[in-house]
């Protein structure tokens, strides 16, 4: 006989918000912070009413003015999950975790507050708590991080106003809160921004990099591509019909803005890429598996004793999936950092190469050329300027790429 299903609604954790929740007759009741005495007390009262009334407990009326901040957060997160927003290539983007981190202090401080009563002063309180809690943990948040988290809270209420969960005036009020400005608070750190790295430092680092990562670094230096664009290059994405090769990545940072991405490869960049072109056009050009093969080949050449048949059998049957098909941004950066340490130079990251290219192009060709080469676009640029920009980008690629 199957075990009879319990009639008592369960006290559960709502993971996105950290709240306790109980579902009664198809309606979710949010109880406050999971594990707190207040949430358990409210759970007990709801269950008692449910068991007393019978099989149906009428949901409490939830007019727009009485909806809590926690309920708005829960609805927003459900929207993100159902709509597939902030997903790229089947994987969640980092924006999801940043949104979650931004909403946690809001939930902890004002989760039970009516959403209609959340105004600029309460947003100030959340920002102050965010700064002070980070200091109590022994670290300072950057001013940019604090402003970004505050903007994500405002973005939550913009969506709520769009869905008519709150009055539009709530969102408009929060827009009045401006971000922290430089020097306004000594409790946050100021970022220096991404600094250019001199070629002498890059050249010293190249001597300690494996051939694959060294080629990625050289290609970034010559083209100003983002690390994510370099590491995922495939042969089929490169148009080699003209004197300038055109790399059009299938996926890139700004694709969700309907922005096309084209990177021009000049003669020197072509020489870097050519040895890595694949017979299979779908394979990545720069793969850590190739590095492992080269490393094993060097070890075998330096080996004094011959390989036993069992060794050869293990090598033949060894799974190739242990290493990724391409470098991740983290593994690429770690490889560069290790080489910097071995070279005895200051640590730099691949993204600084993009800034170095921008500095070089701006010095030689002006600001407009730097914007074009790096792929920065603006909504008010006309088609005539776009054509002129493309020609300027071709000139720069021929002379510096």
What would the pLDDT profile of 135-170 be if each residue is shown by its tens digit?
877 788 888 899 999 999 999 999 999 998 999 999
CATH number of 69-174: 1.10.150
**Can you give the pLDDT at residue 190?**
82
* Helix (DSSP H) and strand (DSSP E) numbers for the chain: 16, 8
pLDDT, tens digit (0-9, with 9 covering 90-100), for 5-63: 456 788 889 887 788 888 887 778 888 888 888 888 788 777 776 665 554 444 444 44
Residue 391's contacts (CB-CB under 8 Å, 6 or more residues apart) are none
pLDDT at 233 over 70: yes
**Can you give the pLDDT at residue 55?**
45
C-alpha angle with apex 236: 276 to 224, nearest 5 degrees?
Answer: 65
Q: Could you tell me if residue 263 is left (phi over 0), alpha (psi between -120 and 50 degrees) or otherwise beta?
A: beta
The residue ranking higher by pLDDT, 397 or 167, is 167
**Can you give the pLDDT at residue 390?**
59
pLDDT at 217 over 70: yes
Superfamily of domain 199-302+321-400: Intergrase catalytic core (1.10.443.10)
Residue 166 near residue 160 (C-beta atoms within 8 A): yes
Domain boundaries, the chain: 12-60, 69-174, 199-302+321-400
Cα–Cα nearest to 68, from 102, 24, 17, 25: 17
For 19-33, 102-116, 135-149, 334-348, which range has the lowest pLDDT when averaged over its residues?
19-33
d(CA 189, CA 380): 34
**Can you give the pLDDT at residue 71?**
92
Give the H/E segment covering residue 8. Answer: none
pLDDT, tens digit (0-9, with 9 covering 90-100), for 272-282: 999 999 999 99
């Amino acid at each position: 006989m199957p075990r009879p299903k319990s009639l008592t609604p369960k006290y559960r954790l709502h993971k996105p918000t950290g709240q306790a929740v109980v579902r009664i007759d198809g309606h979710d009741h949010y109880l406050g912070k999971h594990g707190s005495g207040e949430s358990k007390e409210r759970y007990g009262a709801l269950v008692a009413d449910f068991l007393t009334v019978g099989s149906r407990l009428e949901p409490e009326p939830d007019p727009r003015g009485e909806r809590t901040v926690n309920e708005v957060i829960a609805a927003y997160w459900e929207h993100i999950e159902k709509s597939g927003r902030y997903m790229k290539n089947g994987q969640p983007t980092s924006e999801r975790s940043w949104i979650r981190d931004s909403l946690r202090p809001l939930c902890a401080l004002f989760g039970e507050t009516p959403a209609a009563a959340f105004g600029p002063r309460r947003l100030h309180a959340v920002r102050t708590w965010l700064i002070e809690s980070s200091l109590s943990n022994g670290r300072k948040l950057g001013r940019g991080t604090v402003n970004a988290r505050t903007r994500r809270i405002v973005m939550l209420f913009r969506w709520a106003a769009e869905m008519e969960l709150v009055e539009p005036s709530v969102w408009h009020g929060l827009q009045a809160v401006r971000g922290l400005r430089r020097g306004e608070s000594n409790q946050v750190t100021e970022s220096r921004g991404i600094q250019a790295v001199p070629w002498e430092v890059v050249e010293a680092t190249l001597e300690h990099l494996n051939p694959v990562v060294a080629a990625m670094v050289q290609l970034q230096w010559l083209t100003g591509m983002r690390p994510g664009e370099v590491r995922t290059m495939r042969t089929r994405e490169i148009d080699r019909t003209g004197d300038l090769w055109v790399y059009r990545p299938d996926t890139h940072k700004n694709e969700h803005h309907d922005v096309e991405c084209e990177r021009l490869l000049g003669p020197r960049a072509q020489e870097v890429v050519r040895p890595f072109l694949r017979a299979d056009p779908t394979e990545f050009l720069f793969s850590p598996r190739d590095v492992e093969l080269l490393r094993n080949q060097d070890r075998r050449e330096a080996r004094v004793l011959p390989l036993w048949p069992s060794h050869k059998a293990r090598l033949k049957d060894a799974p190739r999936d242990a290493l990724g098909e391409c470098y991740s941004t983290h593994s690429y950066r770690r490889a560069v950092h290790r080489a910097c340490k071995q070279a005895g130079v200051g640590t730099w990251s691949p993204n600084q190469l993009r800034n170095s290219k921008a500095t070089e192009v701006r010095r030689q060709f002006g600001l407009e050329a730097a914007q074009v080469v790096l792929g920065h676009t603006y909504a008010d640029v006309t088609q005539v300027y776009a054509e002129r920009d493309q020609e300027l980008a071709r000139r720069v690629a021929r002379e510096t790429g």
